[in-house]
Each structure stands twice: as structure tokens, then as C-alpha cells.
Amino acid sequence: MIQDKNSIYQKQGFGGRSGFGHLSALILVDFVNGFVDPELLGSLSIAKAAEETVELLRFCRERQLPVAHTRVVFDEHGANHNVFTLRVPALKKLTETAFESQIVEVLKPLPNELVIKKQSASAFFSTGLSDWLTYHRVDTTLIVGCTTSGCVRASVVDSMQHNYKTVVVSDCVADRAQDPHDANLFDMQQKYADVMSKQHVIEHLETLGVNRP
């Protein structure tokens, strides 16, 4: 079945690559305590992806690449509750000061890194992220985080729709279950992004000489 599926996509011209441009930015989507901890809204796979991201984040910081983090943050009194919270009421717990909404300690942002507070799936929707990337002259996004089928996928689609070359770092994204993770990685590779391992991303960026001026 997998061979048949791949052949159909190949025959119809899917699965092309967009590659890397001149400057990449790392976007960490929702690596917060609530989405990492399997006892809250996370999973062991997401916790592992967060640990895998530590090396990539260090690499990007060493080369002074732009870094942006996202958090899901809702008003504790419900002023900005929306259809997302209607569908997933547990999201209402992700308030500004709640433990669940804080970025995990191993990926804690530095003072010069952008932290986006969002109330929807995509890191781009009503956040100003694209303007920030344009200001830094970024043309390639490296997307990590959770969940693969949810906020990562939404961010990847919007990244491509904003005309950024988009790379999903496969071992630095995860989901609550393996099937949606695998299916969405496959689909994103076919349509929206290059899916690459962390090691391949690092090796490729090293060949480009990615230090910022």
C-alpha cells in the first residue's frame, strides 16, 4: 500500500523540494509544559522531541540565527476564548502565569528571542511572525514543536503560503499518537515542506556557512 501511495504522488508531481535560501530562522511551536507532559496535554514522544531540539537550538544560537518561540496563552477571565477553546476546553488552563503555558526549561528563550503568544493553531495567524521574519530578512523557516498534526502542520502550511522555504525537522516534532504524526509528515513532505532529520539540517546549514553578518 505504501508503494502504491508513493507512486501515485510521484506520478502526479508531488514531493518536490524547496531547499534552503540565504537565511534560516528556527521556529519552536508550543514546546510548553502542558503540551510536553503526558500527564497533562502531551506525550512521551513530544517530551523526546523537545529533548532532541536542544542541540538544534544551541546550533542556531551559536550561529546567531533568528529564533522564535510560540506559547498558547488565553486570558484567565475568558476574554479571548474562541472556537479553539470550545473544541478543546483544556486549553483554557493555558493562561499567562500557568505552569502549563510556560516554555519547557531546556528550551527557555533568551532575552533576544521572540516569544509569540497565540490563540490559534498557526504560529503565523494574527501574530506578526511574518513581519518579524521579513525584518530579519529570513527566507527559510525551520519548524519544530508540537503537535505534528495540529499546530506544527498549521504553521508549516502558513509558512509556505507566506512564501518561505519551509523545513520540518522530523525528529524535533511529535504528536500524541504515532499514526497522525507519520501521516502528517508524509503529507507535508508531498505538498508544503522539506522533511529532514535534525542531523541533516545541521550538516546542510554548516555547508552554507550560516553565520549571520
Long-range contacts of 17-22 (CB under 8 A, 24+ apart): 17/194, 18/160, 18/165, 18/166, 18/193, 18/194, 19/165, 19/194, 20/140, 20/165, 20/167, 20/204, 20/205, 20/208, 21/139, 21/140, 21/165, 22/137, 22/139, 22/140
Residue 59: φ, ψ to 5°: -60, -45
**Count of helices and strands (H, E) across the chain:** 8, 6
Using CB atoms within 10 Å of the CB of residue 60, give its burial: 0 to 12 exposed, 13 to 18 middle, 19+ buried.
buried
| Sheet strand arrangement including 67-72 | 114-118, 67-72, 24-29, 140-146, 165-174, 194-196
Degrees (nearest 5) of the Cα angle 189, 190, 194? 30
List the catalytic residue out of 60, 146, 151, 172.
151
| Residue 151 annotated as catalytic | yes
Residues with catalytic function: 151
